[in-house]
Chains A and B, each alone.
Chain A
């Protein structure tokens, strides 16, 4: 007596087309006399056909766009940092102006200034306060850090390479 499992194995082999011609013939003869196995064959056939009809599901509409974004970020990951570097141009410019202004006011003779004497004295006095000194230090440090960051990022950018498809 053939068990259910054995029938099922043979049925799947038959449906998968892995049986030889002789095996198929023998199988079909055998199954004719077995109503239970024939029912099993019908069920398996139905499932087999439904599984073959199964279709791939589609991701969201932004799927491809997101991948391209990720690839672009991966490829130009360092350049994104460079972009942030250029976006920080304002900080750079302001820092530079502060450093240069403070240097100009603190070095040189205030009398040589084209500004009105009272205003010039006031500015020199302001610049010489600890707040402006600290600001000068902070600006100089920021400039230095940005320069180092830019150098390091440029080097990493050269090392990394992502080949396109």
Chain B
């Protein structure tokens, strides 16, 4: 279970908390909670949705309790750079990935959550509702705003300056 979901769980925590250390701690805590509550898991939702709900709540709690010193996802990405293949395509892909991470980092917490769940975790609006308890229309609005803001960030001066 941990091996299969660790990346997704950790990334969701990282997107919410924007701190590698805190995200790792929260993700571990989420898995321990899931392990403890596994008996209460009913097949009303999928296992993935159930696990992300625990993760989401844990990360939000961590964020409330501890305001971290923000080490952005961008740092996390550069630390994770383990690719030995340094071909131009790889570098370009990595750059693009860093840019998008950086842009996501600048969104509001709720927008970061929606974007991560919708794109990275490929959850439907209905599934995001189950996880966050937000209404479907609310999620659609957040998603719209998040994409709009992302587009502006990506095409804006900041994005260009990073490309220079």
Contact = CB atoms under 8 A, between A and B. Distances in A.
A47 B73 CA distance: 18
Contacts of B24: 59-60, 63
Nearest to A47: B151
A9 B141 CA distance: 10
B119 A54 contact: yes
A30 to B, nearest CB: 19
A1 interface: no
A32 interface: no
Contacts of B31: 67, 71
A66 interface: yes
A59 B151 contact: no
A74 B36 contact: yes
A44 interface: yes
Interface string A5-40: 000110010000000000000000000000000000
Interface of B: 1-3, 6-8, 10-11, 14, 23-24, 27-29, 31-32, 35-36, 38-39, 73, 76-77, 80, 93, 96-97, 99-101, 104, 115, 119-120, 143-144, 147-148, 150-151, 154-155
